[in-house]
Amino acid sequence: MHRRALALAAVAAVATLAPVHDATAQRDPRITRSTGQDTRVWPPDVLFDYDHMRLEMVFADMGKASFEAVQTLTATPIGSARDEITLDAGRRLEIESVTLDGQALAFDHDRDHLTITLPRAFNPGEVIELVTTYRTDDPGGGGAGLTWSDDDSRTPEVDPMFHAQGQPESNHLWFPCHDFPNERASVELIVTVPAGFEAVSNGALERITRTAETSTYHWLQRLPHPFYLTTLVIGKFDVINLGGPDSARPGMWMPVYGPIGSAGVLKRNFAVTAEMLAMLESKLAEPYPWDKYANLICRDFSAGAMENTGTVTWNTFAVGAPASFVDPINMHEMIHHWFGDLITCRTWEHLWLNEGWAAYGEALWAEHKGGPDAYLDVILSNAMGRSGQMYNHVPAPRETAMASNRYRNPDQRFMSRNNVYAKGPIILHMLRRHIGDAAFWDGVHAYIDKHKFDQVETADFRMVMEEASGVDLELFFSQWVYRPMTPRLDVEFEYSDGQLEVTMEQRQRVDELNPAFVFDLPVRLELADGSTRDIKLRADQRINKHSVQLDDEPVQASVNPDFDVLVRTDVTKPLAWWIDELADPATSYARMQAEEHLRTLDDPRAREALAELAPNTDAPAASAN
């Protein structure tokens, strides 16, 4: 799901969340004081292996949020013989009957759980086919579950619409299911709508059956996915197709469904879709696994876009914003079809394996189009931009880690300060730099190969990357993924008599729960003789001192010039070095650092240097915060 896409809304959400956390800072969030309870959240059992869901739905009247449905769910017990099955099912679903082989079963629909008593204990391997007949007038709304958007009387060209939003745990509002990402099944939706409306769901379109009054769309996705990715969109659309023999990805059906009259905008805003798909297939060495790649613009959409399998749903900004805004989100949702849909986080704790990768996809696209600098700009925007991971120094236990199962509501995992969207891609970037491109991509390919159609934990990813690189990554993951916050490092250079003394001090909170970070800080030295030398300085204590023997006097020291490490540095070095760095930086990030530093100085030489820079600078603002 792309929450950040709605840039303002998402940032606002983070912003409003932050004070709440600060307000509770006095209490230790690890425990509920009054009861002694652990505040972490744990996944549910998966007592049945769900094989297939066939959902027949009839929307008789698009003028209200009602439908009737018959669900056929096939499943087999896991582990032990079982005589009862419990599904998540919204309390507003009116369950009429549940049958098995035509025999009515007793069931109990209590709040959001539907517990069905089977006629006997079934053994693992024995397939049961539960047929549940139900109807509802309230399948969700406001962008959770199945949202009905009314006709808009002011704009006659806008017709009623339905769209579904399952993530994180809302699809049970419109059909009974195991509403957690730790299980997957194939899905089939057979949806009858009034003539003139189209219904779109996951998978391939098997057939359309039309009568004078109705159209029935039969969608079938044979490959399994988690239930939160099941989607349904009903409406009247302009549809364009991006596929075809001349596209960058021939053979793939790539329709885009937009509001009536939007075809031109859709063509513009989704123009690079096929190129993206071809790029990812090559980059990830894994063919796009699903039946189609559809995009659908939906009204009343609560987030930016959502990676429902093969059937991405979008906020209407997709037709309102320029293509430059849509492209990264397009890539984000597309790469989810590998990281998220093909390989799914097993619990929301591991959401970054979906979202971190999706956000990293945006950097990969930038790299594809604009090269290494464009790539790094995306990474830096996550570090220094509005969600500012570089400035994130709130320690545990006040703050949760990026991978954490401590949340009151799964939505919080999308919005924490160490958030999956901003920190996730930086971590992947650091990992790539840490183990090198070759090992990184070998590892990623092996990860896809090993875990496709699987539900994964962070450790699964770590293990594959360790295997591919030979590098032990336990400490890396424990401090960057399983701990909150970012190090803040003072770096001081002093040179005399062939020795460069470097003092580094970690200035963020260091305590038992937040020990000093361990990393190698890259420094690029330029010497008076014109040579350059790259060194790495280990930081693993509050204070580390290094002494580097040099053949000549240094004239420049650029710290972390390629942003290999997510660390905020405050560097002490001669003013002349800063000014030189601004004029002739080793990298764009080095220039940003120089600019940021010089702006803090009340010194005419600094002002002069900045003034000289001013006319031709187009560098992103270095200090967004």
Partner 1 sequence: MIHAAALPVLTASLLSASVGGGTTEHTEDSIDHIGCLHCMQARMEAMGGMGARRGVVGWRTPHFDAETGANLNNYPPDRRVDHVHMRLNLDIKDMNVPEAEALAMLRMRPVGRPLDVLTLSVGPGSSTVIHDVEAATPEGEHALSFSHDHERLSITFDPPVEVGADTTVAITYTLKDPPEGLMWTPETPAWPDRPAQIHTQGQAEANHYWFPTHDFPNEKITTELLVTVPDDYVVSSNGRLVEKTSPADGYAQFHWLQDTPHSAYLVTLIVGQFDIADVGGKTDAGRIPMPVYVPPGKGHQIKQTYGRTLEMTRVFEDLFDEPYPWDRYAQLVVHNFAFGGMENTGATTMFDTAILDRTSLMDGNLDALISHELAHQWFGDLITCKSWEHLWLNEGFATYLESLWYEQYNGRDEYEYDVYNNMTSVIRSDKAQWPEHVAMVSPSYAHPVETLFKPANPYSKGCSVLHMVRERLGEAPDGNDLFFPAVAEYLDRHKYTTVETYEFRRALEDVSGLALERFFDQWTRRPGVPYLDMDFAMNDASISIRAEQTQNIDPANPAFALDMPILVVLEGGDTTTVVLRGDTTVIESDFDLPGKPVRVVVDPDMTTLARIATTQPELDFIAQLNNGPTMFARLRAADTLGDSDSLGERAAEALVAVARDRDEHYGLRMRCIKALSNTGRTDDLLAMGDSQPRDARVRNELMKALGSIASDEELRGTLPTARAAGFVREAAKSDESYAVRSSAIRTIGHIATAEDAPTIMGALETESQHDQIRRAAIDAIATVDDPGGLNLVVRYAAPGTNSSTRTNAVRAIRKLGHHSPDHAFNILAALVNDRELRTSRAAMMAVAALGDERGIALLERSVRENTSTLRRFNAQQALDELRASLESTETAAGN
Nearer Cβ to partner 1 (80/103): 80
For partner 1, the closer CB: 238 or 520: 520
User: Of the candidates 619, 624, 524, 610, which has an alpha carbon nearest to the alpha carbon of residue 575?
Assistant: 610
- The least distance separating partner 1 from the CB of residue 166, rounded to whole angstroms, comes to 20
Q: Which is nearer to partner 1, 520 or 596 (CB)?
A: 520
Cα torsion angle, 594, 596, 601, 602, sign: positive
Distance (Å) of CA 113 to CA 34, 81, 116, 145: 28, 21, 10, 16
Shortest CB 53 distance to partner 1, Å:
18
- Closest distance between partner 1 and the C-beta of residue 604, in Å? 39
Q: Where do contacts with partner 1 occur on this chain (CB under 8 A)?
A: 28, 30-31, 35-40, 42-49, 77-81, 123-124, 182, 347, 397, 405, 435-436, 438-439, 442, 457, 459, 463, 466, 468-472, 474-475, 478-479, 506, 510-512, 515-516, 518, 540-543
Please, which residue, 270 or 517, has the CB nearer to partner 1? 517
Nearest distance from residue 437's CB to partner 1, in Å? Answer: 10
The separation between CA 150 and the C-alpha centre of its own chain, rounded to angstroms, equals: 30
Contact indicator for 471, 389 with CB cutoff of 8 Å: no
Q: Measure Cα distances from 486 to 217, 378, 388, 392, 538 in Å.
A: 50, 18, 10, 6, 16
Q: Write out the two tokens for 152.
A: 């808009």
- 209 vs 55: CA distance, rounded Å: 16
CB of 498 to partner 1, least distance (A): 24
Cβ proximity to partner 1: between 349 and 377 the closer is 349
Collapsed DSSP state (helix, strand, coil) of residue 244:
coil
CB atoms inside a 10 Å sphere around CB 326 = 26
Q: Which is nearer to partner 1, 479 or 486 (CB)?
A: 479
Looking at residue 2, the DSSP 8-state letter turns out to be B
Output the smallest distance, CB 165 to partner 1, in A.
Answer: 25
Q: Token pair of 68, please? A: 């009737």
Longest Cα–Cα distance in the chain: 92
Residue 389, φ and ψ in degrees, nearest 5: -60, -25
Smallest distance from partner 1 to CB 247, Å: 36
Nearer to partner 1, 124 or 264 (CB): 124
Closest approach, Cβ 440 to partner 1, in A, equals 9
Kind and range of the H or E run holding 116: strand 113-122
Nearer Cβ to partner 1 (424/443): 443
Give which of 3, 5, 1, 4 is closest to 320, Cα–Cα: 5
